Structure 1
């Protein structure tokens, strides 16, 4: 049996799109709402709302809502890094740290997501490892599908719970 490191995981997907298109999909309200979220709101350090096409900056706060869930399923936290081209880092559920890198590898554009679970409780780490791992796998495939001109794979029906695409 494999001995897991429950404190981190990495998910990778090649996407036939430019680095700029992938970066904008992660760092703008309009981009995130096209493949990931029902609503994405960003505010600057000073509390000023960013426009839907404006890229996030370090120190920005976010509020995210998902399709298939009511407004009680909300994530609010902070952008830690955003370099304007190929790196985004933010605090996510459970104070996990998510880093998104966009790179060229083997002639392909690759989107790589690493989530770190900094908590000391292994049971809590396992929960985020498994649950977030499932979620990120779906959403990274949906990002690929949307940017390559495909279908939106998300469940948008709040009355249809416990499905793999929500």
Structure 2
């Protein structure tokens, strides 16, 4: 019997910024590169590269590149849902999916991230449950830092990479 507690996790963050700005931070190339990625390419179904301020749509595909890694390290996936206001779902590492829900509660905006269908690994160093949860926690904190204070916490120097080989 597989223990399902290792197949998904949820992390949330609260933000003193409007829901529309948070959605733009997730759903446009310009937005997501400010706090998460070094470079993002989104492609429409006929493989047209989306403009930097153009919203992603369901069935788009993506290529994501991180600071600290060269262009050989690319995450490719597909947008499964994007409603244009407060919800996005996409494929992610290891065949998992990530859902982003944005809503307001008690006067603040909330980003709720749910990663599901995480594959179980025998090798702890390959454990996506742990590694992704750590990564998403950092990036949600960086989203807050960038949008509320203008400070980007990412290491942008390849020579100071945390990618130990």
Distance in 2 between the 1:103 and 1:128 partners? 27
Structure 1 segments, 4+ long, off by >4 Å, are none
Deviation at 1:105, TM superposition (A): 1.6
Matched residue pairs, number? Answer: 160
After superposing the two structures, state which structure 1 stretch, 39-48 or 123-132, moved more: 123-132
Deviation at 1:11, TM superposition (A): 0.6
Distance in 1 between the 2:4 and 2:105 partners? 26
Deviation at 1:95, TM superposition (A): 1.0
Deviation at 1:117, TM superposition (A): 2.5
Distance in 1 between the 2:87 and 2:95 partners? 19
Equivalent in the alignment of 1:88: 88
Change (3 A) 1:102 1:124: farther
Q: TM-score, normalised by structure 2?
A: 0.91
Spell out, residue by residue over 1:122-165, the C-alpha distance to the aligned partner (whole angstroms, 9 max, x if none): 547981110001110111000011110231000001111228xx
**Which sections of structure 2, spanning at least 5 residues, go unmatched?**
none
Distance in 2 between the 1:123 and 1:6 partners? 12
Distance in 1 between the 2:47 and 2:27 partners? 17
Change (3 A) 1:161 1:145: same
Deviation at 1:104, TM superposition (A): 1.1
After superposing the two structures, state which structure 1 stretch, 126-135 or 19-28, moved more: 126-135
**Alignment RMSD (CA, Å):** 1.8
Q: Is the 8 A contact 1:6 1:117 kept in 2?
A: no
Spell out, residue by residue over 1:75-104, the C-alpha distance to the aligned partner (whole angstroms, 9 max, x if none): 011000000000000000111100000011
Q: Is the 8 A contact 2:43 2:60 kept in 1?
A: yes
Deviation at 1:6, TM superposition (A): 0.4
Distance in 2 between the 1:140 and 1:23 partners? 13
Q: TM-score, normalised by structure 1?
A: 0.90
